[in-house]
Amino acid sequence: MNEPRVSRYQYLTDTNPGTPAGELLRRYWQPIALLRDLPAENAAPLGARIMGQDVVLFRDEQGRPAALDRKCIHRCADLVLGRVEAGGLRCPYHGWVFDLRGKVLEQPAEPPAVAAAAMNRVKARAYPVHEAAGALWIYLGPGEAPLFPAYPALQGGAEHRYTCRWHGDANWLQASEGNIDPIHTSYLHQMELEDESMKGRWGVFKNPARPELSVAETRFGVRLFTTRALGNGGESAESGEKSIRITNFVLPNACAVGGFEGYLGDGGATMLWDVPIDNVSHYRWEFIFHKSGQLDRDSLEAQYATERDRSGAPHLRDRMWRTKETNYAQDRESMKEKTFLGLGPCFSVHDVVITQSQGEVHDQSLEHLASSDVAIIRARRQLDEAAQAVARGEDPRGVVRTERENDFRDMVVYTGTLAAGVSKEDYVAELERRTDLFALATAAAE
């Protein structure tokens, strides 16, 4: 009788508090809310769930953001129902007030002497937060938070970047692995491009030649090289030119790839984060960046708007309107000539649907990996090694502690032509030396 197969990396799907993978992901800054949902003025407290953990986000009267455990430490009332006043967040049940760091400022029902003693003894759990790239970020780990990473795609102001997120009903890991699978772009995202602007944005994915894949480890994760023969000749000759696409897995749950911004030429990148809500759902965060400040944000927003939930309910606006029960409204007629998947032109929808189709939590014991899965295999190994480092009390790979480490010019995202006789390693080394690759065209910061 055959023994059931067990994947040694299945544990990575469980990110609840206290789990090895949960402890790993908590060592890095994670996006938790769009700044649109926590405006600088008159913001109501906002509840958020991340890695099976519930927090409340709020701004004090001075507009400073904060994050606390969602339940009041007094009698466990929901602080999302609280009032922003008196220098912090007031619980609606008995009036306790907590400041940005969780310190108790008021216990109005207690005698002054009792309250003074108790306020020095009890404290709500607070978490470091950081505003960047249109999102509020949170650090849920122990000790001092690392430096916020200065990734190229998180730089600049609103003109340089488009930020959004999508809700996915699937585990974070299978979604993250889809981002470092260059093969799927030749199938899942294939479509008849309607005009020249679309061809400019997505034409990189039209080359039908079988790709050659290789990976290299970096200080922040894994670099992926995808090369394809140019022209219609099929297999690439040893001495011929090839197209080359350089993308990155960024520990523990992000990637840096080329996407929508590609039509603007060099100097762009899209970073994706797949952040667990719990073990069966996640948010796919998108940070689409170009140094020129010329992103066609209106076009992108218009396309995304056609795929968003149409109910108008605020808590559903990060979901797509397509549902599993209707087979995601797949258009079989369009599959004959226009699209491979039949779900319209939105790549984000393609990715969310296909990862949901794997099940809420993909069972790795059922898969049969191939040579084209080299990046996924390496990423799982790195995640495993990073979790072991955390268990030993060490910082995992990619955590930034010094300003020198926080220079990410080596996070190269690029699509170009690899000349005959030039190695991939020499090609990317030259790109790493370029100081202008992601330099902002205008001086702006957010």
Pair of tokens at residue 102: 């969780």
Pair of tokens at residue 320: 């797509």
d(CA 328, CA 77): 38
Specify the pLDDT at position 120.
86
The C-alpha angle with vertex 212 and arms to 209 and 218, in degrees rounded to 5, equals 140
d(CA 342, CA 189): 10
d(CA 51, CA 24): 11
d(CA 131, CA 21): 25
d(CA 229, CA 242): 5
Each residue's pLDDT tens digit, 299-324: 889 989 999 999 999 889 999 999 99
Model pTM greater than 0.85?
yes
d(CA 62, CA 66): 11
Specify the pLDDT at position 445.
41
Q: Nearest Cα to 328, choosing from 310, 304, 345, 349?
A: 349
Contacts of 17 (CB under 8 A, 6+ apart): 51, 52, 53
The C-alpha angle with vertex 15 and arms to 133 and 362, in degrees rounded to 5, equals 100
Section 425-444 average pLDDT: 88
Task: Give the 3-state secondary structure of residue 422.
Answer: coil
d(CA 344, CA 335): 10
8 A C-beta contact, residue 79 and residue 101? no
Least confident of 126-140, 187-201, 397-411: 187-201
d(CA 283, CA 352): 10
Specify the pLDDT at position 197.
55
How far lies 61's CA from each of 83, 293, 375, in Å? 11, 33, 47
Ramachandran bin of 39, using left for φ above 0, alpha for ψ from -120 to 50, beta for the remaining angles: beta
Pair of tokens at residue 183: 């093969």
Domains observed in the chain: 29-132 (2.102.10.10), 146-432 (no CATH)
Specify the pLDDT at position 240.
76
Q: How confident is the model at residue 337 (pLDDT cuts 50, 70, 90)?
A: confident
Each residue's pLDDT tens digit, 162-214: 999 999 999 999 999 999 999 888 888 888 766 665 555 455 555 566 789 99
8 A C-beta contact, residue 322 and residue 167? no
8 A C-beta contact, residue 420 and residue 239? yes
d(CA 28, CA 149): 9
* β-bridge partners, 59: 65
Contacts of 324 (CB under 8 A, 6+ apart): 169, 356
Would the pLDDT of 5 be above 80? no
Specify the pLDDT at position 444.
43
The overall average pLDDT reported for the chain is: 92
Each residue's pLDDT tens digit, 285-300: 999 999 999 999 998 8
Section 272-282 average pLDDT: 98
Least confident of 110-119, 191-200, 392-401, 417-426: 191-200
Least confident of 61-65, 208-212, 224-228, 308-312: 208-212
d(CA 255, CA 270): 8
